[in-house]
Amino acid sequence: MSREERRSANGPPPFRGRLFLLLVVLAYGVLFRHDASAALLALRRGGLLLLRLLPVFAAVILLIALVNWLLRPQQIVRWLGRESGVRGWLLALLAGVISHGPMYAWYPMISDLRERGGRDGLVVVFLFARCIKVPLLPLMVDSFGLRFTLVLGLYILAGSLVQGWLMERLQR
């Protein structure tokens, strides 16, 4: 097995985040040497934004941890079966929105769901609803406003339901 294959089998490269941090620090260093007042202003604005968002991030992380602690993949598989009805569609939406982490980590659960009789339409709804990233919502609201964020979120949810419905119709 080559070095690249071992690295990809063990997950992402170990220094990716540190490299990004180093590049940001270097960029600020260059900016500071070029225009110190602009660098200080940028650091101040970034720090104030971070302070405003920290309580929201903490609440979102706690909510996600609580949901992940309470719900087990086996429960989700049972609730999204062939006879789940409207409850299954709503649960697929909710599960997609609150799920986090890399997508490849969800593939075994989704495969298990399909093998146990889960509806492909609900899988599509789950995958599409993952476009809403709960931890990033506070930053989106701060950047684009609450109305834009709500409308876009509703469009994503409606689109996921349409995609799931289309998948089920195409499979018949």
What is the rounded CA–CA span in Å between residue 110 and residue 99?
Answer: 12
Three-class SS state of 80: coil
pLDDT for 158: 96
Give 13's pLDDT tier (boundaries 50, 70, 90).
Answer: low
Whole-number average pLDDT of the chain:
82
pLDDT for 21: 85
Torsion angle in degrees (nearest 10) through CA of 119, 122, 128, 134: -140
Taking residues 7-11, report their average pLDDT.
56
The pLDDT tens digits of the residues spanning 71-86 come to 666 676 667 766 777 8
What is the rounded CA–CA span in Å between residue 93 and residue 80?
Answer: 11
CB atoms within 10 A of CB 165: 14
Both tokens assigned to 136: 């990033």
Residues 6+ apart with CB under 8 A from 172: none
pLDDT for 171: 86
What is the rounded CA–CA span in Å between residue 134 and residue 94?
Answer: 11
pLDDT for 40: 92
The pLDDT tens digits of the residues spanning 91-120 come to 889 888 888 777 777 787 788 778 877 788
The pLDDT tens digits of the residues spanning 40-99 come to 998 999 899 888 878 877 877 787 677 677 766 667 666 776 677 788 899 889 888 888
Both tokens assigned to 72: 């087990």
pTM over 0.75: no
